[in-house]
């Protein structure tokens, strides 16, 4: 496995372009199964999770051609209903996104349990309930594999027991070809869910309520091919804001996808990190206050995540690193995943002042000078957070298990080195 050797303490400068949204590209790739006609997807991030998803689609017969960097033509003309590659499906949670499209178009699918980051229990109960409401029969084998089939999906009035992003996406894709009208209440409304719905509409679906928590889908007989461009990744943009703050750098993030950044920018302001809009771009200046804002009558300030339009859970790890470099004390309250904060012991080993109160809460006091050390990346977002910490630390850090970072951030070492970072990728072989 490769590792990063990071020499910290060097300010960065320059411009950087965010990749396409990973969490939009994954369901969009799955949605090509809904039509026999060719689909052209643009601005697809070329990261490990996307490569695994492409391999998974090819294992069921999807033809994929790389037209140019970040642009692919996909055609699902002749599809196998056999179980997709178990190995590939176990690597990414996005493998479960095949359920809705395959049921809608072929009437059956055999799937292993999904893989992905180990940041909590992450059950698929909500997916299964939504698909059952639409007419799917689901059996679970003793080995933990799911066999799903239907004699025909029909529209339904569905109330999700949680605003699950992937369950919403699975239900929307299945309902797009179902007979009749489907209404999904308590639907997720994250930017990547909105993007998937817009993509499906470009294919001929009839979806309204996009961006709200009530999505209405009028089923159609068939979908057609189209071209679609994946949106910028707001999580990557948030990561770059955190990087600039921790390394005391001035960065310009180009084509940052500003409409989806309002809550993210507000949360950074709590830490004394301000951003400046310049057309479609976002500027983070070198001089930042880096002081945790007091909140009169509300006790200790806090960073807390919530379903969209709340603060994204995927940025909690980034914000934790930034908080270690800010003056003051703040509560980090991770509400959505019960194992996501367990990586903070690695920050503590670098010198951070963090008290882990329980699986969901940590108290961070700063500023605390960080010192380079040997680290292991546990998941995508914690891995990127450790890379940011290493770049802001004194001395040299070694980050192992970096394939976790590669799953979500395209050529991150190459891109950051063009800004002045000192990151070397070393093969352990």
Give residue-wise pLDDT tens across range 221-235.
Answer: 999 999 999 999 999
Domain range summary for the chain, segments of one domain joined by +: 2-19+232-427, 22-229
**Residues 156-178: what's their mean pLDDT?**
97
**Residues 313-319: what's their mean pLDDT?**
96
CB 104 within 8 A of CB 219: no
H/E stretch holding 376 reads strand 374-376
**Tokens read off for 420:** 């002045």
**Residues 178-192: what's their mean pLDDT?**
98
The reply to whether 55 belongs to the active site is no
| pLDDT at residue number 1 | 78
CATH topology (fold) of 22-229: UDP-n-acetylglucosamine1-carboxyvinyl-transferase; Chain (3.65.10)
| pLDDT at residue number 141 | 87
For the cut 90, the answer to whether the pLDDT of residue 400 exceeds it is: yes
For the cut 70, the answer to whether the pLDDT of residue 211 exceeds it is: yes
**Residues 67-74: what's their mean pLDDT?**
97
Cβ contacts of 255 within 8 Å, gap of 6 or more: 17, 18, 232, 280, 281
Tell me the C-alpha distance between 174 and 155, whole Å: 9
For the cut 70, the answer to whether the pLDDT of residue 83 exceeds it is: no
For the cut 90, the answer to whether the pLDDT of residue 100 exceeds it is: yes
The confidence band for 398, taking pLDDT boundaries of 50, 70 and 90, is very high
Neighbours of 422 (CB within 10 A): 15
For the cut 90, the answer to whether the pLDDT of residue 338 exceeds it is: no
CB 197 within 8 A of CB 210: yes
Question: What pLDDT, in 10s, does the model give residues 287-312?
Answer: 999 999 886 666 779 999 999 999 99
Neighbours of 272 (CB within 10 A): 18
Query: pTM for the whole thing?
Result: 0.93
Q: Do domains 2-19+232-427 and 22-229 have the same CATH topology?
A: yes
CB 358 within 8 A of CB 294: no
| pLDDT at residue number 186 | 98
Nearest in space to 91 (alpha carbons), one of 49, 44, 140, 58: 49
Neighbours of 409 (CB within 10 A): 26
DSSP string, 264-328: HHHHHHHTT---EEETTEEEE-S----BPPP-TTS-S-EEE--STTS--GGGHHHHHHHHHTSBE
Percentage with pLDDT > 70 across the chain: 95
Nearest in space to 288 (alpha carbons), one of 276, 300, 304: 276
For the cut 80, the answer to whether the pLDDT of residue 59 exceeds it is: yes
H/E stretch holding 250 reads strand 250-253
| pLDDT at residue number 119 | 43
**Residues 264-280: what's their mean pLDDT?**
97
For the cut 70, the answer to whether the pLDDT of residue 115 exceeds it is: no
Identify the active-site residue in 2, 49, 55, 117.
117
Q: Strand, coil or helix: what is 23?
A: helix
Question: What pLDDT, in 10s, does the model give residues 364-387?
Answer: 999 999 999 999 999 999 999 999
What is the second-level CATH architecture of the domain 2-19+232-427?
Alpha-beta prism (3.65)
Give the pairing of strands 181-185 and 157-159.
Answer: parallel
């Amino acid at each position: 496995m490769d590792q990063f050797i990071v020499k910290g303490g060097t300010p960065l400068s320059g411009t950087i372009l965010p990749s396409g949204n990973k969490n939009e590209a994954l369901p969009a790739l799955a949605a090509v199964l809904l039509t026999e006609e060719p689909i052209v997807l643009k601005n697809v991030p070329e990261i490990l999770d996307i490569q695994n998803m492409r391999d998974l689609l090819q294992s069921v017969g999807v033809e994929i051609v790389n037209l140019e960097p970040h642009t692919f033509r996909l055609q699902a003309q002749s599809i196998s209903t056999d179980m997709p590659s178990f190995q590939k499906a176990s690597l990414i949670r996005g493998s479960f996104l095949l359920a809705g499209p395959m049921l809608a178009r072929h009437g059956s699918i055999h799937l292993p349990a999904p893989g992905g980051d180990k940041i909590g229990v992450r059950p698929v109960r909500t997916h299964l309930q939504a698909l059952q409401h639409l007419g799917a029969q689901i059996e679970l084998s003793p080995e933990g594999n799911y066999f799903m089939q239907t004699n025909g999906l029909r529209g339904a009035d569905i109330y999700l027991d949680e605003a699950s992003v992937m369950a919403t996406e699975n239900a929307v894709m299945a309902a797009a070809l179902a007979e009749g009208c489907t209404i999904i209440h308590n639907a997720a409304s994250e930017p990547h869910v909105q993007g998937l719905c817009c993509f499906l509409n470009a294919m001929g679906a009839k979806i309204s309520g996009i961006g709200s928590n009530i999505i209405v889908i009028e089923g159609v007989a068939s979908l057609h091919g189209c071209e679609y461009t994946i949106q910028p990744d707001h999580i990557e943009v948030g990561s770059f804001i955190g990087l600039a703050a921790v390394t005391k750098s001035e960065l310009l993030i180009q084509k940052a996808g500003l409409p989806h950044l309002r809550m993210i920018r507000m949360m950074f302001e709590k830490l004394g990190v301000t951003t400046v809009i310049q057309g479609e771009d976002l500027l983070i200046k070198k001089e930042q206050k880096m002081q945790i804002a007091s909140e009169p009558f509300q006790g200790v300030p806090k960073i807390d995540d919530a379903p969209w339009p709340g603060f994204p859970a995927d940025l909690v790890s980034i914000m934790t690193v930034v908080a270690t470099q800010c003056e003051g004390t703040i509560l980090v309250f991770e509400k959505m995943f019960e194992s996501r904060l367990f990586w903070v012991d690695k920050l503590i080993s670098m010198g951070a002042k963090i008290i882990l109160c329980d699986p969901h809460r940590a108290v961070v006091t700063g500023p605390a000078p960080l010192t380079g050390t040997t680290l292991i990346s546990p998941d995508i977002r914690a891995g990127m957070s450790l890379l940011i910490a290493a770049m802001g630390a004194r001395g040299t850090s070694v980050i192992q298990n970096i394939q976790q970072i590669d799953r979500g951030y395209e050529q991150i070492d190459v891109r950051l080195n063009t800004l002045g970072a000192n990151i070397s990728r070393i093969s352990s072989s």
